[in-house]
Amino acid sequence: MNQGSSSVADTERTLHPIKLLEQLAASQAKGCLRIVANDIVWLLYFYEGKLFYANHSLEPIERLEQHLRRISPVILANQVYADLREQLKEASLEATYPSLDYQAIRWLIAQGHITEQTAGTLVKSITKEVLQSYLLLTSGTSELIARETSFPIWWSGNFLFVTKECQTELQAWQALQPAIQSPYQRPYLMNIEHPLLTPDVKTKLSKILIGFSFRQLSLLLKQDELTVANNLHRLINNRIVGLRPPQPPFDRLHKLYASGTDGDRFNDKEQSVSATLAAVSEKTGAGSLTGDLTEQATYKIACVDDSPTILREINRFLDGDSFKVFPIVDSGTALMKIIRINPDIILLDVGMPTIDGYKLCSMLRKHPAFKKTPIVMVTGNTGIIDRAKAKMAGSNDYMTKPFTQAGLIEMVSRYLMAEHQ
């Protein structure tokens, strides 16, 4: 960055996150606090000492999408977000001031897709998530980039109140240790034969614990992340549910345990949280229970697209122990291959040679084995006519390229879990 900047520090050193915020509040700072740690960039924006936005460099646009889904899911049911991603795909996080995702929120308001009130809720929600990871930092470099503010601010907060909210949530997460150490850990069904599992619970768990993190599960189940973690905590302690580590790049974020110079600020766990967890453990039993690792269901996903690049991207996005992606390039032979695969869900590209997606969808719907199988059309077209044609052909849904990993996972999971919601 070449703006006029006043350096707080330029070399790797011990960080005191809260003390750093105190300094900025006391000095009525205007600008951006830029922190780099473990090859991740945190950007905290201030105006007259008040925090008005925060983000970090790990998947900022997908983070925006996830929070939009929680606050206003209607936006992502149409092609607005696809248009937004198209505009932003070539830009970097720090290409603008404030950052790229903040500009995206401005665009959503300008286009009439969200109100300023919704933007304020969205900004605060993203800021709190990012601030939690910032508060766990123990070392890194920091720099204050002084800037005047010439853009709208939809939310701003006294850092004391905001960090207190974040600390309370971190305390609740840390009460779940040592089992749960990150909201990006991925729970999986470990002991399917455990006597505590009723057939109904077993069926539901096998459908939802398919490689998603706590954060992704909260989005899919429309529940708070801590609620999801609390509900699974007793099953983890009883070795019914296991935890896989966060997927890259989120494995680079600090774990939730308290450490370093500011670590003691989180050690006093909320008594109410501890009491709640103790009550849950008492109800279910917390003995040293073991069991053989059992393979959980693997969902078969047939993907038909004449682009090997798109097929590789879908396979990468759905890379997990519970998904098996079957790529099919030739639409002419797709029907027979799909019959042999017998997938749980089918993704069809619209524009393919030999047989287009609409026709292939109609052919699949005429086959008795696929009358109820979820079919999602995937295309670069965004018009109403294309959507209508997809519906007439018998598809369940319509997804526009380019799509994100979060968007694809949400779409696939929505139909895999539909019968259990």
Q: Specify burial of residue 400 (Cβ count, 10 A radius: 0-12, 13-18, 19+).
A: buried
Q: Left, alpha or beta for 342 (phi > 0: left; psi -120 to 50: alpha)?
A: left
Is pLDDT above 60 for 286?
A: no
Which residue from 382, 376, 409, 379 is spatially nearest to 394, judged by alpha carbons? 376
Please give the pLDDT value at position 379: 84
Q: Count the neighbouring beta carbons within 10 Å of the beta carbon of residue 401.
A: 18
Quote the mean pLDDT of the chain. Answer: 81
Q: Which residues pair with 145 in a beta bridge?
A: 32
Is pLDDT above 80 for 205?
A: yes
Please give the pLDDT value at position 272: 38
When pLDDT is cut at 50, 70 and 90, the band that residue 153 belongs to is very high
Is pLDDT above 60 for 137?
A: yes
Distance CA 54, CA 157 (A): 12
Please give the pLDDT value at position 2: 37
Distance CA 293, CA 239 (A): 10
Is pLDDT above 70 for 52?
A: yes
Q: What are phi and psi of 386, to 5 degrees?
A: -65, -40
- The answer to whether the CB of 294 falls within 8 A of the CB of 190 is yes
Please give the pLDDT value at position 386: 78
Please give the pLDDT value at position 234: 87
Domain ranges of the chain: 13-171, 176-247, 299-420
Percent of the chain's residues with pLDDT above 90? 45
Is pLDDT above 80 for 218?
A: yes
Distance CA 57, CA 39 (A): 9
Distance CA 197, CA 190 (A): 12
Please give the pLDDT value at position 69: 78
Is pLDDT above 50 for 3?
A: no
Q: What is the pLDDT of residues 84-135, one digit of tens each?
A: 766 666 567 777 788 888 988 998 898 888 899 999 999 999 999 999 999 9
- pTM equals 0.69
Is pLDDT above 60 for 271?
A: no
- The answer to whether the CB of 283 falls within 8 A of the CB of 261 is no
Please give the pLDDT value at position 48: 93
- The answer to whether the CB of 62 falls within 8 A of the CB of 405 is yes
Is pLDDT above 70 for 226?
A: yes
When pLDDT is cut at 50, 70 and 90, the band that residue 388 belongs to is confident
Percent of the chain's residues with pLDDT above 70? 80
When pLDDT is cut at 50, 70 and 90, the band that residue 404 belongs to is confident
Three-class SS of 130-181 = HHHHHHCCCEEEEEEEECCCCCCCCCCECHHHHHHHHHHHHHHHHCCCCCCC
Q: Which residue has the higher pLDDT, 139 or 70?
A: 139
According to CATH, the superfamily of the domain at 299-420 is: Response regulator (3.40.50.2300)
Is pLDDT above 90 for 370?
A: yes
For residue 340, what are its two tokens? 């042999």
Is pLDDT above 50 for 290?
A: no
Q: Which residues pair with 301 in a beta bridge?
A: 325, 345
Distance CA 400, CA 379 (A): 5
Whole-number Cα distances in Å, 413 to 216, 241, 377: 10, 19, 15
Distance CA 220, CA 408 (A): 12
Average pLDDT over residues 176-185: 92
When pLDDT is cut at 50, 70 and 90, the band that residue 289 belongs to is very low
Whole-number Cα distances in Å, 244 to 185, 209, 236, 306: 6, 11, 12, 34
Is pLDDT above 50 for 421?
A: no
For residue 13, what are its two tokens? 């050193």
